Structure 1
Amino acid sequence: MSTPDAVTPGRADHSTVRSLLRLWPYVRPVRTRLFSAAFVAVLASCTGLVFPLVLKWMVDGPVAERDVAGIWLGALYLLLLGVAEAVLFGLRRWLVARPLSGVEADMRADLYRHLQRLPVAFHDRWASGQLLSRGTTDLMLVRQFLAFPLTFLLVNSVTILIGVMIMLAQEWTLGLVLLAPAAPLMAVCWLFERHYSLVARRAQDQVGDLTTVVEESVLGIRIIKGFGRHRSQALAFRELSRTLRGTELAKARLLAAILAVIVTLPELAIGAALVLGTVQVADGRLSAGTLVAFLSTALALRWPVESIGFLLAMSQEAATATERYFEVMDEQPESTGPSATANGSSAVAGGKGEGGLRFHGVRFRYPDAPADAPPVLDRIDLHIRPGESMALVGATGTGKTTLTALVPRLHEVTAGRITLDGEDITAMPREELRARVAVAFEEPTLFSAGVGENVLMGAPDTAGEADLDRALAVAQADFAHALPQGTRTQVGEQGLSLSGGQRQRLALARAVVGRPGFLVLDDPLSALDVHTEAAVEAALRRVLAETTALIVAHRPSTVLLADRVALLSGGRITAVGTHHELLRSNAEYAHLMSGDEEADR
């Protein structure tokens, strides 16, 4: 279930910084507030470093001199510094909250918009759960990184630098003792980053797999219950959950290891500095106030140092999430204009007066098919004259649905061309093409919206109630008016609150509501009972008389809607004629129409 085009995290050009820099176009509009928040956080952190200096003054001054008033004054200074630090950190939080929620929303909107523009071949390859996890979990990790680790990697670095300078200024020998673990810590952080990035990527891909299973189980709950497969589905889900748990535990072990090193080495250095400093105080070479200030500064730097581990972990997860996000965003979308390979003179090449829908030597092979695999469609030559209805008949798996998908360019032809009224469809903007060609698929898809909204998706924005009523009448879908809220009734996810026949009729209504010039129907009546089918056919004949149509058909009754029939066999059109002509002259067609093929299927 893993993403087919997933980028291997351990590849040679993997770089956390390079990945995170790709977020800059989204961050740029809010950079002022983010920089201000970082500056405020640096001020707040540096304010905390003033505490040890006040303590030094108190110990060497009022405490040594037994000046009670001075002690109270020092306490007041510490209180004011604490309030200032709290206010500054609160201000930082306020500065980043609104803009970063906007960044997340913009990235999610861009992802959704981009997914709508990606070709069908992309969606055929990618699991929906992987895409869903990129738009939810991954973007949450990116927002958290921008809100916390991004700022505090800078803030803590500045704090450590200033703190070290203060300690060296107070007593350079003790400062050098505390700097001793620096080199080992950097080496450990480098190793941690390399290993954690691999595990983080694996975990996020596994979250996508788990999301896919949940989504499929919810959408297929009727199948699961109908076949009593809930136990096997639960076992499969549990296995994926255990795999993800193991990966998360591997992440926890890596984080625990680096935290153990990051905590232990500085603590040992502080302990050594304490012993050495105490000896120096006893020898009179160092004042007690300086030692208190030095140790207080060292303790103030504990959190900035100890936080490096989980800040690096969060940064790695954000970098991986960013990679996963841009894996989708980098996919090439469908062009909105004419195809770059379109022949500019295609309209002329089609011939003057050559109207209707025509396939010229069309060949199609799926992009991910093996190089030596035969094409699904090969040398398709077919002409559907203006105002004519053509039925497309063939055995299961011969490529009928694939052929119909080529007309609205849901897939691109591998060779040859398709023309509408003499114009190559690749020379048309997709928006114009899909406004001229309406489609109804065998498997009707409805959205979680009102009945009327689902049907009017196939019409221009100017369409109204009259168009809706006409389309419902043609599709014999007047049942919509009897629903609790009429055509405003919400049909629910995938339209599963309706029967299969009702969904198919609404899908047919959606195809005809816009009065299209070209109509492509993929077995549009397969889920209807005999009586409803007859009523729909009677109404559909009037629609077909006003359009040019290609209809995938399995039943003789559907075939009889068409003026002529094309037989698709072995990826080629092997016969064209009327229903009665082909029954007399073509044995394969007669076999298909006899019902034996239906029984075989």
Structure 2
Amino acid sequence: MSTNQAPDGPRRSTVRSLLRLWPYARIARWRIAGSVAAALTASVSVLAVPVVLRRIVDGPIADHDMAGLWPLAGLLLLLGLAEAGLFGVRRVVVARPLARVEAAMRGDLFAKLQRLPVSFHDRWPSGQLLSRATSDMFTMRLFLAFPLVFLIVNCTVFLVGTGLMFALDWRLALIALIPMGPLTWLTHHFEQRYSGAARRAQDQNGDLATVVEESVLGIRILKAFGRHRTMAERFAEQSRSLRETELGKAGMLANLWAVIVGLPELALGAALALGAVLVAHDEMSAGTLVAFLSTALALRWPVESLGWLVAYANEAATATDRFYEVMDEPEPSDTEPSDTEQAGPGPAAERGIRLSGVRFRYPDAPADSPDLLCGIDLHVRPGETMALVGATGSGKTTLTALLPRLYEATGGTVALDGRDIRTIPRAELRELVAVAFEEPTLFSASVAENVLMGAPAAGTEQLAAALDTAQAHFVDRLPAGTATQVGEQGLSLSGGQRQRLALARAVVGDPRFLVLDDPLSALDVHTEALVEQALRRVLDGTTALVVAHRPSTVMLADRVAVLHEGRIAAVGTHHELLQSSAVYRELMTGEAAPVPEGISTR
């Protein structure tokens, strides 16, 4: 997925985007309300200061009454302490519940990523998903903790302060409010421009995370080919792009801030000049002017913070949009069997693996390109091992991925023991079908944990049997045996060792159906022979489809299916196909020998 640009179509408004946070924020709604109440009380207490100052100036100071000054001075001190205490309470009130909100959102995002199909992960760079689960989550949590609260509080304080200024003197109030018209227009214009820049920066941050992740995971390749400078240049280019975007955002915010700060200062200066004239002509008391100016100064923060709060609201809105881009992705659903479909195993003739008219094309394939699989018809009988051979790129791996529904067939049906796999719940389907991929993936866990992912309920004896089948006796020489941590991607092990652990993971649960995608490609000849010998015992008790590239792997199978130009070109034993199929003979021997007369290759 291209991530440097926001998705096509009209952008959701900032308010509508932020409202989508409500299902999560509602669990902390009372704490957020308490935070708003504490901050609002603290801010309103600041507006009480000008009233007290007016009484001090027009009372004890004008009358030279020192005795009357101390109680009012004490009241000012109490107001200051109350403000500080209430702002402290505000932070304490929301810290824990908003951490729970962030944890809930991150948990839902992770669970969603586990449920989405492989085709989704094929399109999305992992760095983009990582940035949504980390930096975007922090942005949304911080918005709920601070900008959201002060958008409400500052607007309320501004309205109350404006009312107080009109109560003190309506003429000065009108002068002080002159900048509000230009500021409203400017803020709206700023919001439209800033939202696009904020989205671009967050997408570029995801791209940068992708570069870092690829560099770390591929560090051996980069070092082996001396390409670390190339990756460093790519990283620097992505960093420059992000830096330019962030500087552009800072420039827009700086321009807005300059106007937001400058215009009210000019208006305040004009109000001060008029107020001084009014005081000089005894049309206003000095205390009233001091109170008005104090009120206007107290409103500086609500006005000046407007630009920052609007900017952060846009950051949070784009982070919310990015979060829901993943959460809104449709999930593959289990299809309930209709009245005519069988929920249990079908007749004996339908047992095993049966593919009927199966077609497949990748979602992002060009519209004018042919299907990768063009009507596959294949029956693997119960207890039979079928080898699947074909040229590179013919679709063998894709075909095997249809059985556990890692990809969805775009046409035709795939059935296991007579049951359409679309009618089998995914959890049950993936207990029935075990898979070993050509490129083994291990996790940052122990050997035992990696293998037992194939059957969490399996015991020590089954673990040992699976490791023995895969000839993974090297585990005994590891520092902690099966408790040894293999490290990220299992890179502390050799390719053959990783492949044997992946094979053990596939066979540990004694699955009814087994799919092996060239599982022995990284093994030496001696180890391959031992694994094949042990694997035959497993294959005798299961129905298996094995992708094979070498004759030694083909010999594990009872029959062989040849995949050619998106179709099954021939099915038979190894020796039969050597005689009857030119395609198979070329794949196995590299020689396109003539086909004997009268024998079809189809």
Matched AA of 2:7 = V
> Does 1:411 pair with 2:379?
no
Q: Distance in 1 between matches of 2:349 and 2:396?
A: 28
Partners in 2 of 1:331 and 1:239 — Cα distance? 31
Identify the residue that residue 600 of structure 2 maps to in structure 1.
Answer: none
Alignment partner, residue 67 of structure 1? 65
SS at match of 2:63: coil
Q: 1:125 to 1:298 in 2, by over 3 A?
A: same
Work out which of the residue numbers 248, 270, 273 in structure 2 matches 1:272: 270
Q: Percent identity?
A: 65
- For residues 281-320 of structure 1, the aligned pairs below 5 Å read 281-320=279-318
Q: C-alpha distance in 2, partners of 1:366/1:586?
A: 29
Q: Say if 2:87 is the partner of 1:92.
A: no
Displacement of 1:596 in angstroms is 7.1
Change beyond 3 A, Cα 1:37–1:138: same
Number of the residue aligned with 2:367: 371
The 1:12–1:338 alpha-carbon spacing in structure 2 relative to 1, beyond 3 Å, is closer
Q: Is the 8 A contact 1:2 1:209 kept in 2?
A: no
Indicate whether 1:338 and 2:343 are aligned. Answer: no
Match of 1:514 in 2: 509
Amino acid at match of 2:575: H
Alignment match of 2:480 (pick from 469, 485, 488): 485
Q: 2:356 aligns with which of 343, 355, 360?
A: 360
Checking the alignment, whether the CA contact within 8 Å between 1:365 and 1:377 is kept in structure 2 is yes
CA distance in 2, matches of 1:521, 1:26: 42
The yes-or-no answer on 1:386 pairing with 2:382 is yes
Look up the match of 1:589: 584
Structure 2: gaps spanning 5 or more residues = 593-602
Q: Give the alignment's Cα RMSD to 1 decimal.
A: 1.6
Deviation of residue 382 (structure 1)?
0.7
Cα shift readout 1:435-460 (whole Å, capped 9, x = no counterpart): 0000000000000000000000001x
Q: Distance in 2 between matches of 1:106 and 1:379?
A: 44
1:346 deviates by 5.5
Instruction: Deviation per CA, 1:408-438: give whole Å up to 9, x if none.
Output: 1111111110111111111111111110000
- 1:10-49 aligned at under 5 Å gives the runs 11-49=9-47
Alignment partners' CA distance in 2, 1:334 and 1:452: 31
Q: For the structure 1 residues 266 and 71, does the alpha-carbon distance in structure 2 shift closer, same or farther, using more than 3 Å as the test?
A: same
Residues 196-595 of structure 1 aligned to structure 2 (within 5 Å): 196-335=194-333, 337-338=334-335, 344-345=340-341, 351-459=347-455, 461-594=456-589
Residue type of the alignment partner of 1:422: G
Deviation at 1:27, TM superposition (A): 0.9
User: Which shows bigger deviation, 346-355 or 321-330?
Assistant: 346-355
Contact 1:2 1:205 in 2 (8 A): no
- Deviation at 1:593? 1.1
Distance 1:197 1:344 in 2: 53
Query: What secondary structure sits across from 1:96 in the alignment?
Result: helix
Query: Could you tell me which residue of structure 1 aligns to residue 122 of structure 2?
Result: 124
Structure 1 position 371, deviation (Å):
2.3
**Size of the alignment, in residue pairs?**
592
Deviation at 1:349, TM superposition (A): 11
Match of 1:181 in 2: 179
- Looking at structure 2, the residues matched to 473 and 349 of structure 1 have their Cα atoms a distance apart, in angstroms, of 32
Structure 1 residue 77, shift from structure 2 partner:
1.1
Determine the C-alpha separation between the residues in 2 that align with 1:390 and 1:518: 11
Contact persistence 1:458–1:511 (CA under 8 A): yes
Give the SS at the match of 2:515.
strand
CA contact (8 A) 2:5 2:200 kept: no
Distance in 1 between residues matched to 2:464 and 2:49, nearest whole Å: 77
Bigger Cα displacement from structure 2, 219-228 vs 346-355: 346-355
Contact 1:338 1:430 in 2 (8 A): no
| 1:69 shift after superposition | 2.2
User: 1:401 & 1:343 partners in 2: Cα distance?
Assistant: 33
Aligned mates of 2:535, 2:353 — CA distance in 1: 19
**C-alpha distance in 1, partners of 2:349/2:77?**
90
Kindly state the Cα deviation for residue 334 of structure 1 after the two structures are TM-superposed.
2.4
- One-letter amino acid matched to 1:428: I
- Quick one: distance in 1 between partners of 2:126 and 2:5? 14
Instruction: Give SS of 1:457's match.
Output: helix
> CA 1:386 to 1:26, structure 2 compared with 1: closer, same or farther past 3 Å?
same
Partner Cα separation in structure 2 for residue 181 and residue 504 of structure 1: 70
Q: Which moves more between the two structures, 106-115 or 587-596?
A: 587-596
2: CA distance, partners of 1:211 / 1:98: 28
Show the counterpart of 2:596.
none
Paired residue type of 1:7: P
Q: In 2, Cα distance between the equivalents of 1:593 and 1:574?
A: 15
**Letter of the 1:291 counterpart:** L
Residue deviations 1:213-236 (CA, integer Å, cap 9, x gap):
000000000010000001111011
CA–CA separation in structure 2 for the residues paired with 1:363 and 1:165: 71
Aligned letter for 1:483? L
Matched residues in 1 for 2:111 and 2:527: separation? 38
Tell me the amino acid that sits aligned with residue 380 of structure 1: I
CA–CA separation in structure 1 for the residues paired with 2:247 and 2:425? 51
The Cα of 1:481 is off from its aligned counterpart by: 2.3
1:56 maps to 2:51: no
TM-score by length of 1: 0.96
Q: What residue identity is the alignment partner of 2:239? A: S
TM superposition score normalised by structure 2: 0.96
Aligned residue identity for 1:368: D
Greater mean alpha carbon deviation, residues 578-587 or residues 525-534: 578-587
Asked if structure 1 preserves the Cα contact closer than 8 Å seen for 2:447 and 2:483, the reply is yes
Point out where structure 1 has 5 or more consecutive residues left out of the alignment. none
CA distance in 1, matches of 2:242, 2:195: 15
